[in-house]
Amino acid sequence: MLFLFSLVFYAWGEAVYIWLMLASTVVAYVTGLLADRAKRKDSKLPFFSMLFAIVWNMGLLLFFKYTDFFINTANDAFGMHIKLLGFTLPIGISFYSFQTLSYVIDVYKGDVKSQKNFLTLGAYVALFPQLIAGPIVRYKDVEEQLMQRSETVENFSQGVRRFAIGLGKKVILANNIGALFTLISKTEQSEMSVCAAWLGAFAYTFQIYFDFSGYSDMAIGLGKMFGFTFLENFNYPYIASSITDFWRRWHISLSSWFRDYVYIPLGGNRKGKLRQCVNIMIVWFLTGFWHGANWNFMIWGVYYGILLLIEKFLLWNTLKKAPAVITHIYALFFIIIGWGIFAYDDFSVLTQSFKNMFGLGGVPFSNRMTLFNMLSYAVTFAVLIIASTPLPKKLANRLEAKKPVAFAVCEPLWIAVLLVVSTAYLAGNSFNPFLYFRF
């Protein structure tokens, strides 16, 4: 039933590419059965089966996500006029390609058993709660749950609570602060200021966090309703004390995927410092490349790779000894700069944005419009700052411990109000895109 309705869900959003997901599921099913080395000792078939799965999944991503990018690059570099293919990016392809690939690799490594029931594997690949924008759910994390799980009232209620919080993050917090980023990004250069450029960067920093973590909360909540327990994808990344700490807290499922399936197979830190540096840069270039077919994403990936290397080999001891407030400011500064790179896929707009941020764009430090926006969004920023820390959760836990009856009465009322307000926001806005849909 989950497999069937997950296909209906996917087809509702993009029916034309449902065959692609089914084909990927068939490939994962067949190569998974053939990649089991324990059953085929002294045979090269498991290795070639895994290799075929890698070629298939990476080939799909390269073809649908990057072909036009390569054509554009060739046209610009060599003055060619090759026509773009103009394919629409299949919804969720970046996520289900990584999931099916990790399944086959884990079977080959002997970490999981191959799944003999096609419908069970199909339910894993197409599972609609996390299909569109993650988190990346590995087969080994839900293998037992696919075979045996329990749907209970308690699990369902926890799922509804988590879903409502995620929906609120998206439509109340992310959408509202996203409106400010949109306004600033469309402001004429003659009306810009240094403070406005930084205000836009702050706005996008909060928008992408509450947008993506909101979707992850919704996916985890929906999974809980069906008896699944998905791993957390975020752990308050904006309280990080370093860039290394930030990437232990942000998009955890993607970071751990690249660590286990790229960094460690390349040799990790086992083959000397030079090889480790190369491996880290490869991983972070691919991380940026995974996000989209634009140079800004690759620059963003390389940017973080360089920062992580600097921290690892030059700053680590200094950061450990520095006061917490200093390390926190340091981390936030470079995180905001990173989102400034990530936000603009138009290179000329990206360049102008950074010129404005650092006073090189010929704009004033501030102006009336900037002050107006600061005052208009002051309360919103205060709410966003508090909501991005563990403080609300700690307060809720303390209330539950000290006033269990009051908490039992207030929590469902609060969730109901949150759902009603979120629904009202959805009804009032015809377009509510999740930022990570395009990746």
pLDDT confidence band for 351 (50 / 70 / 90)? very high
Answer yes or no: is pLDDT of 436 > 90.
no
Average pLDDT in the 202-211 region? 96
Tokens found for residue 149: 């799980």
Q: What is the DSSP letter of 241?
A: S
Annotated catalytic sites, by residue? 291
Answer yes or no: is pLDDT of 33 > 70.
yes
**What pLDDT does residue 14 have?**
79
Q: What is the average pLDDT score of the chain?
A: 91
pLDDT confidence band for 432 (50 / 70 / 90)? low
Average pLDDT in the 400-421 region? 91
Answer yes or no: is pLDDT of 433 > 70.
no
Q: What is the DSSP letter of 79?
A: T
Largest CA-CA distance found in the chain, in angstroms, rounded: 74
Say what the pTM is: 0.92
Average pLDDT in the 246-254 region? 94
Q: How far apart are CA 437 and CA 342, in angstroms?
A: 15
Contacts with 185 (C-beta within 8 Å, 6 or more apart), sequence order: 200, 343, 344, 349
Q: Helix (H, G, I), strand (E, B), or coil: what is residue 54?
A: helix
Average pLDDT in the 8-23 region? 87
Q: What is the DSSP letter of 371?
A: H
- Reported as half-sphere exposure (CB side, CA atoms, 13 A), residue 1 has a value of 1
Give the pLDDT confidence of 148-204 residue by residue, as tens digits.
Answer: 888 889 999 999 999 999 999 999 999 999 999 999 999 999 899 999 999 999 999
Answer yes or no: is pLDDT of 135 > 90.
no
Give the pLDDT confidence of 90-128 residue by residue, as tens digits.
Answer: 888 888 899 999 999 999 999 999 999 999 999 999 988
**What pLDDT does residue 438 have?**
61
Instruction: Indicate the angle between helix axes 118-126 and 18-34, nearest 10 degrees.
Output: 130
pLDDT confidence band for 431 (50 / 70 / 90)? low
The amino acid sitting at 393 is K
pLDDT confidence band for 17 (50 / 70 / 90)? confident
Average pLDDT in the 349-367 region? 93
Answer yes or no: is pLDDT of 390 > 80.
yes
Tokens found for residue 292: 């989209």
Residue that is written with structure tokens 């450029």 in the block: 197
Give the pLDDT confidence of 286-340 residue by residue, as tens digits.
Answer: 999 998 888 999 999 999 999 999 999 999 899 999 999 999 999 999 999 999 9
Element (H, E) at 271: none
